[in-house]
Chain A
Amino acid sequence: EVQLVQSGAEVKKPGESLRISCKGSGYNFTSYWITWVRQMPGKGLEWMGRIDPSDSYIDYSPSFQGHVTISADKSISTAYLQWSSLKASDTAMYYCARLWVIPNWFDPWGQGTLVTVSS
């Protein structure tokens, strides 16, 4: 079974750093891109960026470029999303998903990681 398992919920203070993870299993991790999606409380889905785990090539959404860093370690079939200095506005659910490059289809999705940033 193809699965993406994300790391657990996090509670952080403004200014702190954070890295969350997404581990793929049940398929060849380097044959598909991984993408990240933000969902703020009560809001819709926002595409953040995508990474090709085979060579770590990355595309960022212009809205998130410079605010987050996407990376991957193909040796352990894991992708990461990280912040160097969190803000309260980063409070959201973050999903990873396997990306079928053509047609840029997100499937399956991870279970989500809730990040709460509060002083």
Chain B
Amino acid sequence: NFMLTQPHSVSESPGKTVIISCTRSSGSIASNYVQWYQQRPGSSPTTVIYEDNQRPSGVPDRFSGSIDSSSNSASLTISGLKTEDEADYYCQSYDSSTLVFGGGTKLTVL
């Protein structure tokens, strides 16, 4: 099996841009789709990115996803930060019949 490693926390000011990374320990990041979920305190997770870089309807285009094979990592970029973006973010991918979440990143918008 593989692991997905995320920074424990990131912080940035409103209006700025933040990038959250998700590094795959083994196997190619490009071989299996990556999803990103947002979880606000006390709420269920919701999708902000699926299939590496697709946004579900209703998710603002301030959210974008990308894959970098050279670093074997995925990234979630949030531009024009708003206080409402403060939440935990999880990346998720898979390998054959095993699904894996990253450890989560706490985003603070201050």
Interfacial residues, chain A to chain B (CB-CB below 8 A):
35, 37, 44-47, 50, 59, 61-62, 95, 100, 102-112
A110-B44 contact given A62-B1, A103-B51, A105-B33, CB 8 Å threshold: yes
Asked whether, in the complex, the Cβ of B98 is within 8 Å of the Cβ of A105, the reply is no
How many residues from B make CB contacts under 8 Å with A?
26
- B residues in contact with A47, CB < 8 Å: 98-101
Interface flag for B23 (CB, 8 Å): no
In the complex, chain A residues whose CB is within 8 Å of the CB of B90: 44-45
**Bound CA span A85–B51, Å:** 38
Residues of chain B within 8 A (CB-CB) of A100 are 50
Closest to A50 in B: B99
Any chain A CB within 8 A of the CB of B65?
no
| Set of chain A residues within 8 Å of B14, measured between Cβ atoms | none
Contact of B44 among A46, A59, A95 (CB under 8 A): A95
* Residue in chain B with minimal CB distance to A105: B50
Q: How far is the CB of A26 from chain B (nearest CB, A)?
A: 16
Chain A residues whose CB sits within 8 angstroms of the CB of B51 once the complex forms? 103, 105
Q: How far is the CA of A44 from the CA of B90 in the complex (A)?
A: 8
**Whole-angstrom distance between the alpha carbons of A108 and B51 in the complex?**
15
Contact present for A59 and B56 (CB under 8 Å):
no
In the bound assembly, the distance between CA atoms of A60 and B100 in angstroms comes to 12
Q: How far is the CA of A62 from the CA of B95 in the complex (A)?
A: 13
| Residues of chain B within 8 A of A106, CB atoms compared | 35, 37, 45, 47, 92
